[in-house]
Chains A and B, each alone.
Chain A
Amino acid sequence: MTGGRPSTPDNASPAPAGLFRAFIARNLLQQPLRSAATVASLAVGVAVVVAIQLANASSVRGFSTALDALAGRTALEIAVPGVGLDETRLADLGWLREYGLVSPVIDADVLLEVAPAGGEPVLEAVRLLGVDILRDRPFRDYPLVDGDTPRALTTQGFLDLLTDAESVILTRQFTRRHGLEVGDRVALLAGDRTVPLRVTGILGDEGPASVLDGGFALMDIAAAQWAVGRLGRVDRVDVRLADGVDVARAEQAIAARLPAGIAVRRPSSRGAEVERMLRAFQFNLTALSLIALLVGLFLVYNTVSVSVITRRHEIGLLRTLGASRGAVVGLFLGEAGALAIVGCALGAPLGWLLAHGAVRLTSSTVSQFWIVSSATVPPLEPPMVILAFAVGLPLALVAAAAPALEAARLDPLAAVRGDDDLDARERLRRRFIAGPLALFAAGAWLAAQGPVGGLPVFGMLAALAVVLGAGMAMPAVLFGFRRACGAVMARRLRVEGRLAHANLGAAIPRLSISVAALAVSLAMMAAIAIMVGSFRETVVYWIGQTLQADLFVSTARQSPNADRGGISAATEALIAGHPAVEAIDGFMGMDMPYGGSTITVGAGRFATRLERGGLQFKAPADGTAAMAGAIGRDRVVVSEAFSLRYDTDVGDAIRLPTPAGPTRFEVSAVYFDYSSDRGLVVMDAGTFERHFGPERPSGLTVYLAPGARAESVRDELRAALGPERRIFITTNGDLRATVLRIFDATFAITYALEVIAIGVSLFGMAATLLTLVLERRREIALLRLVGADSRQLRRLIVIEAGVLGALTQGVGLVVGLALSLILIYVINVQSFGWTIQFHLPVGFLAQATVAVVAAAALAGLYPARLAARFELGDAAGTPE
């Protein structure tokens, strides 16, 4: 200002930035605990979203990176999908050289057994590549090392390292992990065979050796064929195109020239198939992670509400001094924005840390059901940080909008005088009944819609409609509580109950959102508990029905991919020869691309299976007869997941790729299967052999004579098979226990996410109670004045908290029940193709109810302590 000119109202009012600093920023810093708590909750919410995205990305990324490294410079792959190629057909493919270089490979998941000196043998899964090194060196990098120094070798020198049938080259990571050196011995387990090998070289961290945590082994193709039992066959022929040849054109031209049954595809298509397989699982995790964010945002709402409530007088002053309504809205949105910026900035790295835990929890599921992938969390890169801000910041502003607008609506005079209390007798507005009813109706309609691109989009929207409807119904629920429970509370909980009822009844507008947020979290917990409980009961019933055999024999399989062959005829004969064994069924399977994803095509001995029972048919009514009718014909039975995913029913025809070209099979029956969601097509072993050639089973189910003890037979068989034949024999009881252990591990991530959401919600409950206590500062002081002692005040607020906990849990249970129906009958069916029988886990829900009410009551302790410390002068006015 110059010349002492008096300031005009315009230039006298502080600039918005200055006002923000003075009014908001300073206040946030003066209340470090509350600010930190809000920032922490928001950070956790954002972090959970980021963590799930990173975990999802890492499982696919681990697989894709491995795929890229293993493919090297391969542009195209030639094979009979799922089957490989008979070596005799390679000669007919000589023309492939017109397009570039070709290299046949064996590609298998195997186990390596390392026996350290004096220690217990250790098994580790590795990816085995068997190559003709003369042809393969232009495809992939194999940097041999000697300790840390590169070891230059000519191709001939390399060939010499692999010529011996026992030679294997391992990676530096693997050998360091197990203390191996060149010359040491390891054993390869493939099927029931144990193949002794000698380490002849070590690869540095480049090319295929750089991925899968070094779980990679290189052998000569002939030795590999022998080791994995694929003599006379290769898994595929890799093609490296000559310079200047266009991949798309070459793919098209090669496809046109390939004989029927053999297909060409790009290595990356396998990655796309995997992404498609994992999509539903990841979609569901993402939806779940948003719950934690939702609850975090509720806390932003709450913090800004507290800010507005405790600063009404100041807001009134600002308004009387000329601050516009817009400026007041801006200030409080700015508060939310400032908290959100810090929360998101912390949430992104926190999410990266949480992702490590999430990966641990999800990778076992992913590798159990879909792909073996060494999932490592990718570094935190700008896109994830941007994601954190993109979800956190706008939503935080939305969450703060309601209290910010409330601040702007304050009557300046009333706020300054402090008599702008809420009308305790507010009526229930009609929209709080009509709105929820409309949303519930919309939810019912959405739940009846089909999937979109294999994803339960409408199912999720139905769940969202129910959640929003429940949230919106909360005022009606609270009004119902006010009407119904007054007398009971006054009678049972004395004067404190009467006061608590009156206080809660009067605070309905303030409570509705926080109660809704907690109720939604609890509803999700209840829904997931009901869904998982139902699923578990269904699986228990299913394994009870289907696991009829006494013993289960399997090879050392380390991959969810169906493994062809494995159990040799000698092993099977030895088992069949045991006097207690009455019948044996064998199962073999192979992965096959189908409909843009991967399915498993398997074979079993239908006659044995029919005789012994064990399949639960969904359709037709007489599934057993239909299955019997499939023997000797081109007919298959398919799993429910296959039927739903590919919209295939009894009587429909499907075309599967076979070495003779695409072949038509008729679907005879649909059966329930909960072992995999990828879709199973099963045919009789005879039909399989006719189309795909002879194949050894990868698993046997063994039926014993009545009275035989499974454990004794197992031990006798193990002894007879000796240490050389490495197969696993499991009794019925052990297998059931294993299935349930895998089941429980699968849902660990679900519970982890829920625990976070509920923790944040309870924190929110404490924050809400704090808001209420601060808002009622004068009333509480008045209560103390007329004689409420500290014990009565504590009891009053703890009762309020407990009642809120009980109300939210009650609503949570009802809404959770509705959500569980959507989860079970819509989302699960559309995502995974599983029919789950409804089952209510009463014990768990009862325990959760007690825990939530107790936790909510505990959450009231801090506000109660605070209330007991209010100055009595607050009741009467400031002392003169």
Chain B
Amino acid sequence: MAVLEARDLCRRYRRGDTDVTALDGVGLTLEAGAFVAVVGPSGCGKSTLLHLCGAMDRPTAGEVRLEGRSLAALDDDALTRLRRERVGFVFQFFNLLPTLTVAENIGLPLLLAGREPFASLARAGEWAERVGISHRLDHAPAQLSGGEAQRAAIARAVVHEPALLVADEPTGNLDSGNGRRILDLLQDVNRRSGAALLLATHDAAVAAAADRTVAMRDGRITGVESRRDGHENSPVPELAAAGSTGSEP
């Protein structure tokens, strides 16, 4: 069963007197352990696609199914629970809560899910160890470097073992060295945990690391490129290039 199935997604916003179409009939499928990169210029709809797939936003038309479950029927709190249990997020600007320690930030999804605080923070410690920031557990986010903050954000995104990991320009705010290390870490997490990774990027080098690259422009998919090599554990669905509708079949 696919982890993520998105069909004919449309998202329109009202900006003043005009309608802005951010997505126009986009489809996408991710199996467990897949790594899909979405590329395209600013304003092409990458982030909107990620928000819809990550249950952060609702499409104007079309449908998103996460692990076979349609998101359309879920109310806000059900969506929240779904995100809390099955989705992890990493953003360009790290997005750690400045008032919590690194350990609390990492353990937050578990704490919010009502897990026992000691166990939650212990689990956060394990992940901090795996992403290489265990020496920073009691620090405030403001005391971390950019690379460290993004590692903490990645640890938080996977601490609850999600089925889908959504990463929006995760290296966009880092220098090339740190960017490379963060990408390696994401790939490692993707391989080990089996979570599908959906990543938006401007960076061709980052996109090249994905099993599959989806190119977008003006809210539509303009091309898909599949690469099996180097990703033996990642089953890549047999997808044809998108048609004029801009959907992956």
Using a CB–CB distance below 8 Å, which chain A residues touch chain B? 419, 421, 423-425, 490-491, 494-495, 498-499, 502-503, 505-506, 778-779, 782-792, 868, 872-873, 875-877, 879-880
Contacts and interface: CB of A to CB of B under 8 A. Distances in A.
Contact of B112 (A502, A778, A786): A786
Interface in B55-107: 56-57, 76-77, 80-81, 83-85, 89, 91-93, 95, 97-100, 104
A566 B103 CA distance: 86
B47 interface: yes
B212 interface: no
B138 to A, nearest CB: 12
Interface of B: 11, 13, 22, 42-48, 51, 56-57, 76-77, 80-81, 83-85, 89, 91-93, 95, 97-100, 104, 108-109, 111-114, 117, 140, 142-143, 156, 168
Contacts of A792: 112
B142 A423 contact: yes
Nearest to B104: A498
Given A424-B140, A499-B100, A880 B113 contact: no
A794 to B, nearest CB: 11
B107 to A, nearest CB: 9
Contacts of B168: 876-877
Contacts of B48: 879-880
A425 B108 contact: no
B108 A876 contact: no
A421 B98 CA distance: 9
Given A505-B99, A876-B56, A786 B89 contact: yes
Contact of A880 (B45, B76, B89): B45
A503 B112 contact: no
Contacts of A789: 76-77, 80-81, 84
Contacts of A787: 80-81, 83-85, 108-109, 112-113
Contacts of B114: 494-495
Contacts of B108: 495, 783, 786-787
A786 B57 contact: no
4 interchain residue pairs of minimum CB distance: A787-B84, A502-B99, A495-B111, A506-B99
B244 to A, nearest CB: 22
A424 B44 contact: no
Given A494-B114, A789-B80, 6 more contacts: A783-B108, A786-B84, A787-B85, A789-B76, A789-B81, A879-B22
Contacts of B13: 879
A875 B80 contact: no
A880 B114 CA distance: 34
Contacts of A875: 91, 95
Contacts of B99: 424, 499, 502-503, 505-506, 779
A329 B142 CA distance: 29
Contact of B97 (A494, A783, A872): A783
Given A786-B112, A792-B112, A876-B56, A502 B104 contact: yes
B89 A785 contact: yes
14 contacts: A424-B98, A495-B114, A503-B99, A783-B108, A784-B80, A786-B109, A787-B81, A787-B84, A792-B112, A872-B56, A872-B57, A875-B91, A879-B22, A880-B22
A506 B98 contact: yes
Contact of A876 (B42, B47, B80, B109): B47
Nearest to B78: A789
Nearest to A872: B56
Of listed B93, B113, B156, residue having the most chain A CB within 10 A: B93
Contacts of B42: 880
A786 B47 contact: no
Contact of B100 (A421, A491, A502, A877): A502
A498 B98 contact: no
Nearest to A418: B93
B98 A785 contact: no
Contacts of A419: 93
B60 to A, nearest CB: 12
A877 B93 contact: yes
Contacts of B46: 880
Contacts of B95: 778, 782, 875-876
A424 to B, nearest CB: 5
A5 to B, nearest CB: 32
A343 to B, nearest CB: 34
A876 B153 CA distance: 13
Contacts of A876: 47, 51, 56, 89, 91, 95, 168
Contact of B156 (A425, A491, A786, A879): A786
A880 B140 contact: no
A499 B99 CA distance: 8
B77 A791 contact: yes
Contacts of B109: 786-787
Nearest to A783: B97
A792 B100 CA distance: 17
Contacts of B140: 424-425
A784 B55 CA distance: 11
Contacts of B47: 876-877, 879-880
Contact of B92 (A424, A498, A785, A877): A877
Q: Which of A423, A490, A786 has the most C-beta atoms of chain B within 10 angstroms of its own C-beta?
A: A786
Nearest to A875: B95
A790 B77 contact: yes
A789 B83 CA distance: 10
B85 to A, nearest CB: 8
A880 B43 contact: yes
Contacts of B112: 495, 783, 786-788, 792
Nearest to A878: B47
A877 B42 CA distance: 13
A499 B47 CA distance: 28
Contacts of A505: 99
A300 to B, nearest CB: 28
A873 B57 contact: yes
Contact of B142 (A425, A785, A788, A872): A425
A783 B99 CA distance: 12
Nearest to A779: B97
Contact of A786 (B45, B83, B117, B143): B83
A556 to B, nearest CB: 70
B47 to A, nearest CB: 4
Nearest to B139: A425
Contact of A877 (B57, B85, B91, B142): B91
A499 B190 CA distance: 30
Contacts of A779: 97-99
Nearest to B89: A785
A495 B119 CA distance: 13
Contacts of B111: 494-495, 498
B62 to A, nearest CB: 16
B153 to A, nearest CB: 10
Q: Which of B89, B95, B168 has the most CB of A within 10 A?
A: B95
B35 to A, nearest CB: 20
Contacts of A495: 108, 111-112, 114, 117
Q: Which of A419, A505, A879 has the most CB of B within 10 A?
A: A879
Contacts of B22: 879-880
A879 B20 CA distance: 11
Nearest to A419: B93
Given A505-B99, A872-B51, A785 B56 contact: yes
A699 B80 CA distance: 79
B69 to A, nearest CB: 16
Nearest to A880: B47
Contacts of B89: 785-786, 876
A425 B140 CA distance: 8
A399 B55 CA distance: 44
Contacts of B44: 880
B248 to A, nearest CB: 19
Contact of B76 (A423, A502, A790, A879): A790
A423 B142 CA distance: 8
A354 B95 CA distance: 51
Nearest to B216: A880
